[in-house]
Each structure stands twice: as C-alpha cells, then as structure tokens.
Structure 1
Amino acid sequence: MDLEEAFQAVGEFGRHQKRMVIILICLQIYMACQSMLIVLVGAVPEYHVEPVTEGGSVTRGVTFTEDVSSIVTEWHLVEEQAYKVNLAGSLFFAGVLIGNVLFGPLSDKIGRKPVFLTGLFFEVLFGYGTALAPSYEAFALSRLLVGIMNGGMALVCFVLTQEYVGKSYWAMTGTLTNMTFAVGISLFAALGYYVRPWRNLATVANCPGLLLFLLCVTLPESPRWLYSRGHMKQAEDILQDFGVRNGKGRISLKLRRTVSTSAPDASSPGVFQLVTHPILRWRTVVLMYVWYVCSLVYYGLTLNASEDKGNRYLSVAMYGLVELPAYPLCMYFMNKQWAGRRKSMANFLGFAGLSCLLKTIVPVSGFFLSATSLALMGKLMVSAAFNIAYVYTSELYPTVIRNAGLGVCSMSCRVGGILAPFVPSMKSLHASMPFIVFCLSGVSAGCLGLLLPETLNKPIAETLDELSSPIYHRILEPQVHLLEEKHLSDQKGEDSD
C-alpha cells in the first residue's frame, strides 16, 4: 500500500495523533512570546531630557515620567540610542533567517526530530540568557541566538504537525498552529500586564519552553520523512504504533517501495534543486515574495501596536485577538472548490493592502470606520493569507524537499521580519508612508500568487520524479501549468544540447 492508504488504515487523525499535534501546537504560544518579547521589554515610556551638572561639567540627563520597566529605562535607549530597540527586534528575525538556512535543509537530510529537539533545547537555554543579560550587547546577542534556534525549530515543528496526520487534515492542523500563535500574542500581552519588570517577564515567558521540551522528547520521527528516504521498516513500525494507540489494534502494513522513493544511501535532493529544477525554481521565486510580504505586513502592523496611543497591553492583545476570526474564514474559503488555496491567498493579500491604503485617508477616530479599525482589519486579512501560505507551500513542495522549500520561503519571510521593526519609523518621512508600503506590498503579492497552481483535492508529490511526471501535471490545472511545463521542456532542451 502507499503512504496515504497506510494513514487511512491506522487513522488519519486518531487520538494519539491528536495528542502529538496538541503538544506541537502549544509550542506556538511559547514561540509567540519569544517573537513579541521586544514589543513589551522594549517599550519606550514618556521621558524628557534636561541638563545635569556633575563635577563642574554639564551633561544631558534622561528622566522617565512613566513607571515602566524595560531595556529602554535600564540602559537609557533614547534619542541617538533609540535605534537599538529596533535593532534588537531585527536581530531576532535575522537569527530566525539563519536558523532556516542552517536547520531547514538539515532536517530533510538527517530527520525532523533531532533538528527539532536541538533547536528547542538551545532556544530555551538562550532565552534565559536574555533575562539575565548584564548589558545591551549581551541582550542583543541572546536575541540573535534565540532567533537562530527558533528558526531551526519552528519550521520543523510546523512540518511535523502536517506529516503526523493524513493529507486531508493538513489544512486543519496548519490553521490550528497559526491560530494558536495569535492566541499566544494575546496571552503574552496579559502576562506583560501582570509581570511588569522586564527581566521577570522574559523569565516567565521562557519557562513553558522547558516543559514542552520534556513532552516533545517522546515524539516519534516523521513517518513521511522515513518513507521518502526509503526507510520502509521504520515508517511501518511508527504507523503500526499509531494504529495501536488509536485503538485499531496492530495492523499489518507493507508500504510499497516505488522507483521514485529514495534509497537510504542515495543522494537526497537539497536546496540546490530549488534553483535547478524548472518547476520548483518558478514556484520558489513566487512563494518567496509572498512570504516576504506576509511577514512584512504581519509583523509591521503588530509591532506598530506598541506605538498606538493608549494602553499598550490592550493594543498588543487586540492585534493578537483580531487574528482569530481570520482562521475560520480561511478554513472555509481554502477548502471550497470555487476558491481553493490560490484564489483565497491572493484575495486576502489584496484586501490587506486595501485596508492599509484606506487607513491613510480615514480619520483617526470615526463613527463607523477609524484608522485603528482598518489597521486591525489589515492584520486580520494578512493573518488569513499567512495561514494559507503555510499550508499551500507545504502542498506545492514534494516530501523529499519540503523542509528545504519551506526553509527558503521562511528565510525570505524573515527578511520581511527584519525590516518590519523599521517600517513604522518611516512616519518621520510622512505619516502615511508605512501603510502605503504595506498596501503596495500586499496587492503585488496577491497578483503574483495567482500564477501558482491550485492544490486543493490534488495529489501531493512525494518525490521529484512524481513532480515531473505527466500524470501529476495533467491532474493539476493545465492553464496555470503552461508556464511550468514550458520551463520543464526548456530545461530538457538545454540538457539534450
């Protein structure tokens, strides 16, 4: 039997898989706290600068008029030192980018579980280093290291939530994963409200990671990865264990070894295939831009919450809670035949850009519409698009190179995250400049995403051979695949020459 038949036999989403997925989904709360940490620990309270006389010399002293504990108040990161707050946020996302590059392809070669556990262990370790940092330099270094481990762990975590279950449940597990991240943002805001000293907040926000690491040690390797690498016996053992724990008894399985399934000693596809393979090259270029825009708009709007007037904790919580309606919406649309993954993602990106454009022309406060409500609407729309992009991308890449593809796309995504903390500061050029950037980015990414093929109710390629097979192409949309087929024929022509 093939892999999908085996999942149907042992249970595509039985009680054992539900327990494993719940553990992985809960990790999103921990990751949300780490991603949003700088929003509260880098809060800038009201202050004024006045001359201070010390030893006959006059210096400029900073007096904070608001009772706030943050790295700004501890190390006086104001005026010419203010850039260091945004720099610390960008260093985290730069670290995530490095982690994607280093650990993503590595998990395709040596396995999901060892890379995942290594990244999580060191992220927790360096997270405590953030709370104990004696200086800004040590704090910034710890954020970079936390980001590297986060990038190595988070992507594999998402892939495991997909590969532990049958394909028909991928959209649901992917959506639950991203929805829990939004809940984590709101919980972090509530935590910050009750735990005000920034070092205590960093410590408490890091503690769940230690408990979750102990739970994750018991998780098995991905049976899909084992199958794609030709380790049939190990994959069969894990699937049989799924069947036993799901209450179906010990089911006899015999996975079919296809010619396209890699032997254990064969050289596996790597990141280089994303450039050389004509179909993957085109998909990767489009997806990298889509992920970049999703991250830029998503984190740009979220980090902008700390600059809103009023209660910063409520603002951060609202920017997390507003995402929750996005997930039922995208679940509904992305599973409808008339919408699917492609059209849903493109439309949500377009509407996110339109909301940001309207924010620049609507008054700050209004009876029906306000600038804040439109910014929240933009966050809702880009959250839906981001969620679809995760699920859609995992379906567009074959299993043998899925993590490498997701890693490259996530790398592009982190470039958006690196730039996001600095976009709100573009208000110094013009008040509407940040949202014009968000608008143009969202609309252009939505248009480009329409060039990708639809994957709803279509077969998922396990290997590169299946991706290039004529049968696979005939099942997918012919009109969208004309460009991919042309790239494939051009590549074959170059090889024959």
Structure 2
Amino acid sequence: MGFNDLLESIGGVGYFHILHNILILIPVCMVSFHSYLQNFTAAVPNHHCRIRVDTNQACDANLTDKEQLQVYIPINKEGKSKKCHQFQVAQCHILNATVSNITDLDTEPCTDGWTYDQSQFVSTIISEWDLVCNQQVLKQVAQSIYMAGVLVGSGLFGWLSDRFGRRRMLIWTHLQVAVAGTLVAFLPTFSCYCVFRFLSGMGTSGICIISLSLILEWIPTQGRTLAGNCYGYFAASGQMILAGLAYGLRNWRWLQFAACAPFFLFFLYSWLLLESARWLILKGKHDLALRNLKIAAWVNGKKEEGEKITIEMLKENIPMNSSKVSSYSFLDLFRTPGMRRISCCLMLVCFSTYFAFFALALDLTTFGFSIFLVQLIFGAIDIPGKLICTLTMGLFGRRITQAVSLILSGLLIIGGIFVPKGVWSNLKHKGIPALHTTMAILAKGCLSGAMACMLQFSGELYPTVVRQRGLGLSFMSAYFGSMLAPAVYLLGDIVSFLPYLIYGVASMVAGVAACFLLETRQALLPDTIEEVENDVIPASKLSQV
C-alpha cells in the first residue's frame, strides 16, 4: 500500500484536509500584505520646505497660507511648489501682480524640515523620518532590506524545515513575524525599522514555503491541484484586503500593527496543526506518523480505517534510513542529472515569472486611480488568471500550462511595444483603457496563472527528502527576479522599449525551459532522489484516475 493509498483509505480529501488547509492558508492571506505594505506605510505625501517662523515678519503678518507659499517657496515648471528648495529670503514682492519672472531668485535646500500634506495619509515613514529629497533613496533601501530578509529566509527555513520538521518551523515563523513585525510599529528610528523589517521578511518567506509543502504532503493526488491553487487564491485575496485595511488606517504605525498582530493568534493555533506524516516516516518517526494519520482518520469520520493502519505498513510504505535523510544538503539539488534538470529549469521559471510580473506592476500607477484602488485592481486581476490556471492544470497538465502561460505573457509584453500609446486615446478619456494597457493587463493575468502553476510544479517535482530545500531555492530565485525588475525598468531612460523587450524575452525563454520538466498531473509525490532519477516520477506510482 502506497502513501497515497493510506490517505485515500482515511477519507481522501475530507474534513481534516479542508480544516487543516484553511488554518494553514489564513496566515498566507496576511503574509501577502507584507510584500506590498510599503506602498502605504512608505507612501510619499505632497510636501514642501517648512516655512521659517522667524522670517514671517518680513511680510504682512496677515498673509494667507497660499500667499505664504508664494513668498517663501519657489514653484517648478508645472506650477507646483518645489519639494526640496526654498527662497533664501522672503520674496514679498512676488505678491505684486506685475512681477512675472521669479525663476532667477536665489534658493537653498530646506533648512527647517518639511511640511507634509496629510489629506491622504496621516503619517508614513517618509513624513516621520523625512525620507525625502537627498534622503529619498532610503525608501528603496528599506524595501530592498526587506526583500533581502525574504531571500535569506527562503534558504534558511527551507533547510531548517527539512531538518527539524514543517510544523515546528511553521510555528516559529508565525512567532517571528508576530514579534518582529509588531515591534516595527513601535520603533523610534529608521535603522531599527530596517532591522526588524529584515527579520519580518525572513519569517514571511518561511511561512510561504513551509505552508505550501505541508499542504501538498497531506493532500491525496486527486485534490492536489485545487489545494495547491487555493494557496494562490488566498494570497490574491490578501492583496485586496490590504487595500481596504490601508484605506481605513491612514497612520503607518497602526497599519503595520494591524498587519502583524494577528500572527500572535496564528502562532497559538498553529500548535494544533499536524506534522507531515510523510516527513515523519522518512525521519523514522513511525509512531508519530501513525498517531497523526489516526487523528486525520478520526476527523474524517474514518476511525475504523485509521485503526487498521500499523507501523509495519508505514515502514513498507517508505523504507528510509533517517540518518541518511538528515545528510541531504542544497548540493543534492544539483548533484544528480534528474535533480539538476529540475532545479535549473525551475530556477529560470521562478525568476522570470516574478521578474516580469513585478515589472508590469510598476505600470499600475499610470491608471490614474487612487493608490487604494490600484492595490485592489492589482489583487483582483490575479483571480481570473489563477482560476484559468487551475482548470488547465487539471485538464492538460502542469507543463503545458506553465509553458503556454509564460510564452503568451512574453508575446503580449513584446507586442505592447509595437502598439502606439495613442491607439484608442479617444476612448481612454471616457474611462476605457488604451490597447497597450489592455495588453499589459492580459499579460499580468497570464503571469498570475504562471505563478500559481510554478508553486504547484515546484512542490510536486522535488522529492520529500529535499522538498523544502527545493522550494526555498525556487522562492529565492523568484524573489531575486522581483528585486531585479525595477532596476531593469530604469533602462527605459536609455531606450524606451528595452525593459519590455527584456521582460518579454525572459518570459518566453522560461516558457521554453518549462517544456523540459516532466508532467506531474497524474503522479504521486516523489519521496526520494532515487525516484527522481527514474524519470522524476516512476510509472509504477501513477495514480488511478
């Protein structure tokens, strides 16, 4: 009897799996907050130099606020107040209607701080720590530090969860995000903010990879596609919830607190989750694996079937020396031909998917909506892409879905280069997006489906003994792509279409690489590297459809 047969005998996709997966996925929903949280906590409000009180006597004391701005703050070519400069002395004569040329007046950088518009946000890290003008680069530094934490966490917790267990490390990552993320809301300095955002990023990436692995290892083959894609649905829902939460909480500290404090609750109830029985068997802990399987059977209403399972059946199911399991390392992802092919192809697929997806996300601000609506749209367009992906993965398989979604997104991105931005311009003013914007939205939908398939594929191709290490490698490649995307976007200052050409070509190349991965739609999860080397998933373990 194989492990999948054991899962089927205790109820298949029953009440246990539904409840267990929901408890795992609720934190995943809130984890998606953190990648986009700085869109709101680090939003840059309108600002100008703070007017020096001691110079107010140079003009009429009864000046209105608008007149004070004219007297003390120069204007730019667009007719708006400059953000980083002020007049060296009060220019009272500007109020004279006959004065028209004021561009030659002497100015200087802000000396007394800045005044910020609080109409949209009461407080952000920008306004609290004056991260503007010559300090504005620190906003991107903060986000890069967070993403560095995500990269480190992907590799570290991938290794730790393979060594010490999925459940134990999931509990720890919930606590790490709860403590580090909540402390961010109370820290007094920018440097402390960056340090604890780094720790929070490590925890969020750990939650992502461990949750996906724990879901796939408990679910039987027939429900694996839907269960894996529910991961993507919860993440997309989190992005939309963030838009509403940020709309209601305009102070960055309260928003940060609201996004992290629930993880204390997740930490408490995560003790109720069951460790992967598959991992326990591979570690030689057959008694714990048997106990967990019997609990699952009881919750599913299959108590009698659960009592029939014995330790001897588990030992026959996956015979493995636990000391050998502990000896695996990241090098085993590349040591043998089969693993090397999987790892290299998936690294390219993961990198290019996130690289192109987050690059297109840079264009969302051109829609002209408020930042809250933009975030809502960004999350909403993920849903249809992931839904179509779920259907095609079940009907045609993972490999075809992965390849087609990436190649199609690449063609749409490159095709947008040849579409003049003036096409349908008369309709754009009526609220209908231009053709090139429509193509970008379709490309985002394809990439959303590619992301969902990528996560499913990564979890199914790697064997249980190194699955967390493999997922960690995949997530590290993906997050590196998301970090590189903004830098490539800057090449548009040299050649306007060059960034989109790079994004499109990267997607198409990754689509071709996906064709070299073997199909997993009708196969069980591999448990050992030896199984992978036998054409990744041996034909003898194909499931009954």
Same fold (TM over 0.5): yes
Which residue identity lines up with residue 194 of structure 1 in the other structure?
G
Indicate the SS of the match to 1:266.
helix
Which residue identity lines up with residue 2 of structure 2 in the other structure?
D
Q: For 1:169 and 1:225, locate their aligned partners in 2 and report how far apart those are by CA, in whole Å.
A: 19
Greater Rg by CA: 2
CA contact (8 A) 1:453 1:476 kept: no
Residue from 457, 465, 485 that aligns with 1:400: 465
Q: For 2:406 and 2:354, locate their aligned partners in 1 and report how far apart those are by CA, in whole Å.
A: 11
Q: Which runs of 5+ in 2 are unaligned?
A: 48-81, 90-106, 428-432
* Residue matched to 1:417: 482
Q: For 2:142 and 2:292, locate their aligned partners in 1 and report how far apart those are by CA, in whole Å.
A: 42
Residues 1:445 and 2:480 are matched in the alignment: no
* Residue matched to 1:491: none
Residue 220 of structure 1, CA deviation: 1.2
CA contact (8 A) 1:86 1:422 kept: no
* Residue matched to 2:154: 100
Q: For 1:45 and 1:354, locate their aligned partners in 2 and report how far apart those are by CA, in whole Å.
A: 37
Residues 1:302 and 2:361 are matched in the alignment: yes
CA contact (8 A) 1:319 1:379 kept: no
Residue from 444, 451, 456 that aligns with 1:386: 451
CA contact (8 A) 2:282 2:325 kept: no
* Residue matched to 1:262: 320
Q: For 2:397 and 2:2, locate their aligned partners in 1 and report how far apart those are by CA, in whole Å.
A: 26
Cα distance change, pair 470–442 in 1 and its aligned pair in 2 (3 A): closer
Residue from 31, 46, 59 that aligns with 2:109: 59
* Residue matched to 1:351: 408
* Residue matched to 1:335: 394
Residue 271 of structure 1, CA deviation: 1.4
CA contact (8 A) 2:129 2:190 kept: yes
Which residue identity lines up with residue 145 of structure 2 in the other structure?
L
Which residue identity lines up with residue 229 of structure 1 in the other structure?
K
* Residue matched to 1:490: none
Cα distance change, pair 472–190 in 1 and its aligned pair in 2 (3 A): closer
Q: RMSD between aligned alpha carbons?
A: 2.6
* Residue matched to 1:199: 253
Which residue identity lines up with residue 230 of structure 1 in the other structure?
G
Indicate the SS of the match to 1:265.
helix
Cα distance change, pair 354–372 in 1 and its aligned pair in 2 (3 A): same
Q: For 1:198 and 1:238, locate their aligned partners in 2 and report how far apart those are by CA, in whole Å.
A: 42
Cα distance change, pair 83–59 in 1 and its aligned pair in 2 (3 A): closer
Indicate the SS of the match to 2:86.
strand
Cα distance change, pair 475–118 in 1 and its aligned pair in 2 (3 A): same
Aligned-pair identity (%): 25
Residue range with higher mean Cα deviation, 227-236 or 33-42: 227-236
Residue from 201, 217, 220 that aligns with 1:163: 217
* Residue matched to 2:61: none
CA contact (8 A) 1:288 1:408 kept: yes
Indicate the SS of the match to 2:261.
helix
* Residue matched to 2:71: none
* Residue matched to 2:437: 372
Q: For 2:130 and 2:341, locate their aligned partners in 1 and report how far apart those are by CA, in whole Å.
A: 48
Q: For 2:226 and 2:254, locate their aligned partners in 1 and report how far apart those are by CA, in whole Å.
A: 35
Residue 65 of structure 1, CA deviation: 5.1
Residue 420 of structure 1, CA deviation: 3.5
Residue 376 of structure 1, CA deviation: 2.2
Q: For 1:138 and 1:306, locate their aligned partners in 2 and report how far apart those are by CA, in whole Å.
A: 30
TM-score by length of 1: 0.89
Q: For 1:267 and 1:177, locate their aligned partners in 2 and report how far apart those are by CA, in whole Å.
A: 28
CA contact (8 A) 1:156 1:403 kept: yes
Q: For 2:206 and 2:257, locate their aligned partners in 1 and report how far apart those are by CA, in whole Å.
A: 21
CA contact (8 A) 2:414 2:500 kept: yes
Indicate the SS of the match to 2:301.
coil
TM-score by length of 2: 0.81
Residue 369 of structure 1, CA deviation: 4.3
* Residue matched to 1:253: 309
* Residue matched to 1:44: 44
Residue 66 of structure 1, CA deviation: 6.5
Which residue identity lines up with residue 341 of structure 2 in the other structure?
W
Residue range with higher mean Cα deviation, 176-185 or 143-152: 143-152
